[in-house]
Structure 1
Amino acid sequence: MPFHLSPALWLLLACVLVQLFYAAYYFLPFARRPSEAADGPDTEPVSILVCARNELENLRRLLPLLLQQDYPAGFELIIIDDRSTDDTYLYVQQLTQYYPHVRLVTITSTPDGLSPKKYALTLGIKTARHERLLFTDADCIPATNQWLRYMQRGFHKPADVVLGYSAYAAESGFLNKLIRFETFLTGAQYLSFAWRGYPYMGVGRNLGYTRQVFQLTKGFASHIRSLSGDDDLLVQDAVARGARVAVVADAGAHTLSEPAQTWGQWWRQKRRHLSAGSRYRWSDRLRIGTFIGVNLLFYGTTIGLLFSRPDWVPLAAVWLVRTLAMTAVYHQLGRRLEDRLPPAWLPVLDAVYFFYYLALGMSLFLYRTLRWK
C-alpha cells in the first residue's frame, strides 16, 4: 500500500518547515555571533534619559547604578518627572545638588489628546545637551556598570539607532517563566531580524538613538496620540527614513526589570504593547505575522488531528522533530542572551505562549480601549 499522509499532516509538516527556516536563517546565526568587548572608542558624551511617574522607590534603586556607570567621556542623567504625586521631585532635586550632571525636567500637565509619556520624553530630549541619547525606564536596572559603554559601542558600527535587550528578573512561579519566555522570544525576533537587516522595533527599557534621528522623524509626531509606541514606532519611522540600526546583545549591555506579579497586570501590559503592531510596515507585519501564524497553525492543526482519526506515527514524528529542534534553538538563544530558562519547560511555555498570544489578539480586536498608568 503506498504511503499516504492526510492533508492536515502535510499542513503540519509545512508549518514545521517554516519554523525551521526562521530558526536556521534568523535565530541560530544570531545566537552564534561572537560576543563583543565593552572597551572601545568612548569619546562622545551621552545623555541618559529616564521618564518616571510616581516611581520613587524604583528611582532610589536605579539612579545610583546609573551614576556608577564607567564611561570616560562623561554623561548627563536627565530625570523626567511626569506629573508625579510622590516625592520624586524632592529626591532628584537633592541629587542635582551633589551631582552636577544630574538634571531634572518636571512635567506638570499633558495637553489633551497627547500621549503623556511621549510628551514628557519630547520635553526631556529637547533639554538634552548631547547628540547621543540613551533611554531606560525607572523600573529597570543596568546589568553591569559597563552598560553605557556597551550600548555606545553600537554607534561606532556605525549606526543611528542602537537596540539593546531587557530581560525580566527570575522569580518562582509559572507566570514568571511565561513572562520571561515571552520577553526572550520577542527579543530573539527583533534582535535577530535587525541583525539580518530587517529592524522593526526596540524596547524603551534599553534603546539608544541620536538627536538627529529624533529630528528626522519629527519626534513622535506620527503617533503622538497613541499611548504605545514611544520605542517601536519611533524605530519604524527612523528606518523608513534611512536610519542605520545596530544590535548590542551582550550580557553587559542588558537591563533587568521586575516582571508583572499578576496575570491581569501582564495582560494589560501586553495589550498596550501589541496595539502598536497595526502601525508597522506591511513587510514587517508579514515577517512577524508569518512566524506567529505558523506556530498558531501548528498547534491548532495538532488539536484538530487529535480529535479526528489521527495518523499517530507521522504525527508523533513531526512533533518530536519540531520540539527537539526548536528547544535546541531556544536554548542556544538563551545562552547568547544570558537569559536561560530550564530546557524542559521550553516546549510547555512555547505552547502556552502562542495560545495566550491568540487570546490577546482577539481581545485587541474586540476591545480597543487602552489606559496609561
Structure 2
Amino acid sequence: MPFLFSPLLWLLAACVLVQLFYAGYYFLPFARRPQEPDADPEAADAQPVSVLVCAHNELPNLRRLLPLLLQQQYAPGFEVILIDDRSGDDTYLYVQQLTQYYPNVRLVSVDRTPDGLSPKKYALTLGIKTARYPRLLFTDADCIPATAHWISQMQQGFAAPAALVLGYSAYAPEPGFLNKLIRFETLLTAMQYLSFAWRGRPYMGVGRNLAYTQACFLATKGFASHIRSLGGDDDLFVQDAVRHGQRVAVRAEPAAHTLSEAAPTWSAWWRQKRRHLSAGKSYRLADRLRIGTFVGANLLFYFTTAAVLLFSQPDWVSLAVLWGVRTVILCATYATLGRRLDDQLPVVWLPVLDVVYFFYYLALGISLFLHRNLRWK
C-alpha cells in the first residue's frame, strides 16, 4: 500500500494535530500572555504572610536559604516558620539561634510521625496550625528565591482574587546531559500545569513554590484525603482545592520563581520522579485524560514513526513534512516559554531532549506499574 494512503500516515498526522492543538490553545498563548503587573506592597489587599519550610537533615541548605528569606522585601511583613522534621543534624540549634536575633523566625519541631501517615504532610500540618497569618507561602529547604521580591510577587496572585497561587520553580543550569533533561522535564511539566490553570483547568502545583490561604487549607480538610500517601502535598492538595471550588491563580514572572539544584545522578532523579508520578492515579479523570492525551500523542508519534520506517515504504517527503512541522512548532513553543520563564535551554538540544524525555516517561510509567512500593526519606 502506498504510504500516502497508509493508515500509519493518517495516525501520524493525527498525533501531530493533537500536539499542535495543545501548542496553539494552551502553551503558546500562555507563553505570549501580557506581562503581569508588578506587585504593589501598598495595595489594599496586601497582607502579612507566613513562609513555611519543612526540612529533614538539610542544615547546609537551610544555611543558604534562610538568610535569603530574611532579606525579602515585603512591606506588610512576614514570618518564617521552619518545621524541623525529625532531623538528626544541628538544624534545631541553628534555627534556635536565628530565633534569638530575628523575632519573625519561628521553629516547629517534629519528634515522631504517627504510624501510617506521610511524614512531610504531618509536619506541614503542624506548621500550618502555628502560622500567625491567613496567607501561607511554601518552599523547600533545597530551594532559594530567585529575587528579593519573591514574597511580594507570589502574594500578588491573591489579588486575582484567588485562594491558591501556583508558581514556577526552576533548576540551576549545570554541565551535562542529565541537567539539561531535568530542566527540560521541569519546563515541560510547568508548560502543562501553568497553562492549563491559566485556561481555567488547574490540576497541580509544586511545593517548591506554592501559596494558599489558611481558609483554603481548612476548606479542603488539609491533607486528610491523602495523608497516607507519601507524595501529593502539592498536586493532590490542588486537586482537592479545585474539587472544593477554590479559585486558582498563576504567578509565573521570573521575579516570582524559586531555584533549586537538580538531582546529581540518574538514580536520584529516577526515585524523585517515581514519587512524583505516583500521585497521578488520584487525579480527576478529566485531568488524567488531558495530560494523558498530550503525553500519549507524543509517544504514539514516535512509535508510529518507527512502525513506518520498519514495516512500510514511506513517502519521504510526507514523512519529512510531518516531522518538520511538529519539530519546528513544538521546539518554538519550548523556546518561547523558556524565554518567558527565563529558563532557556539550547535550541539545538530541544529535539533530542524531547525524544529522550518521552521514552524516559514511558519507562517510569512501566516501573510504577510493576513496582509500586515507594519509600520516604
**Equivalent of 2:73, from 70, 93, 113?**
70
User: Could you say which residue in structure 1 is the equivalent of 2:120?
Assistant: 117
Distance of aligned partners of 1:83 and 1:313 in 2 relative to their CA distance in 1, 3 Å threshold:
same
Tell me the amino acid that sits aligned with residue 194 of structure 1.
A
Match of 2:179 in 1: 176
CA distance in 1, matches of 2:37, 2:56: 35
Conserved 8 A contact 2:165-2:212: yes
Deviates more, 1:302-311 or 1:314-323: 302-311
Q: Does 1:129 align with 2:129?
A: no
1:43 matched to 2:49? The reply is no
- Return the alpha-carbon distance in structure 2 between the equivalents of residues 49 and 323 of structure 1: 41
The equivalent residue for 2:63 is 60
Q: Which residue number corresponds to residue 26 of structure 1?
A: 26
2:88 aligned counterpart, secondary structure: coil
In 2, Cα distance between equivalents of 1:265 and 1:9: 39
The whole-number CA distance in structure 1 between the counterparts of 2:37 and 2:319 is 46
- The normalised TM-score by structure 1 is 0.98
Gaps of 5+ in 2: none
The C-alpha deviation readout for 1:206-241, integer Å capped at 9, x for no partner, is 000000111011110000000000000000000000
Preserved CA contact (<8 Å) 1:201 1:233:
yes
Aligned residue identity for 1:285: R
2:347 corresponds to: 343
Code of the residue aligned with 1:20 in structure 2: it is L
1:5 pairs with 2:9: no
2:3–2:312: 8 Å Cα contact kept in structure 1? no
Q: Distance in 2 between matches of 1:5 and 1:366?
A: 38
Partner residue of 2:107 out of 96, 100, 104: 104
Q: Residue 262 of structure 1 aligns to which amino acid in structure 2? A: T
- State the shift of 1:303 in Å: 1.0
- Which stretches in structure 1 are left out of the alignment for 5+ residues? none
Deviation of 1:6 after TM superposition, in Å, equals 0.9
**In the TM superposition, what whole-angstrom CA distance separates every residue of 1:62-97 from its partner, at most 9, and x where no partner exists?**
000000000000001000000000000000000000
Q: Find the aligned partners of 1:45 and 1:261 in 2 and give their Cα distance.
A: 36
- Output the amino acid matched with 1:148: I
Q: 1:35 Cα shift? A: 2.0
- How far is the alpha carbon of 1:3 from its aligned partner? 8.9
Q: Distance in 2 between matches of 1:321 and 1:207?
A: 36
1:352 to 350, 356, 360: 356
Residue 307 of structure 1 aligns to a residue in which SS? helix
Structure 1 residue runs of 4 or more that deviate by more than 4 Å after TM superposition: none
* Of 221, 226, 231, the match for 1:223: 226
CA–CA separation in structure 2 for the residues paired with 1:28 and 1:294: 18
Question: In 2, distance between residues paired with 1:121 and 1:310?
Answer: 58
Query: Would you say the 8 A contact 1:52–1:79 is kept in 2?
Result: yes
Of residues 282, 303, 306, the one that matches 1:303 is 306
d(CA) in 2 for partners of 1:324, 1:25: 17
1:141–1:257 CA contact under 8 A, matched in 2: yes
For residues 3 and 309 of structure 2, the distance between their equivalents in structure 1, rounded to whole angstroms, comes to: 20
Q: Do the aligned partners of residues 305 and 109 (structure 1) sit closer, same or farther apart at CA in structure 2, a change above 3 Å counting?
A: same
Residue in 2 aligned with 1:289?
Answer: 292
Evaluate the alpha carbon distance shift between residue 15 and residue 3 of structure 1 in structure 2; reply closer, same or farther with a 3 A threshold: closer
**Residue of structure 2 in register with 1:199 after alignment:** 202
- Measured in 1, the distance between the counterparts of 2:368 and 2:338 equals 30
Which 10-residue stretch deviates more, 85-94 or 304-313? 304-313
What is the CA distance between 1:130 and its match in structure 2? 0.4
State the SS of the aligned residue for 1:129: coil
**SS across alignment from 2:311:** coil
Letter in 2 for 1:187: A
Q: Report the CA distance between 1:372 and its aligned residue.
A: 1.0
Query: What count of residue pairs does the alignment treat as equivalent?
Result: 373
Q: Aligned Cα RMSD in Å?
A: 1.2
The 2-side partners of 1:325 and 1:87 are apart by: 51
Shift of 1:49: 0.1
| Structure 1 match to 2:317 | 313
In the alignment, does 2:207 pair up with 1:189?
no
User: How many Å apart are 1:39 and its aligned residue?
Assistant: 3.0
Residues 3 and 313 in structure 2, CA contact (< 8 A), matched pair in contact too: no
| Distance in 1 between residues matched to 2:161 and 2:313, nearest whole Å | 54
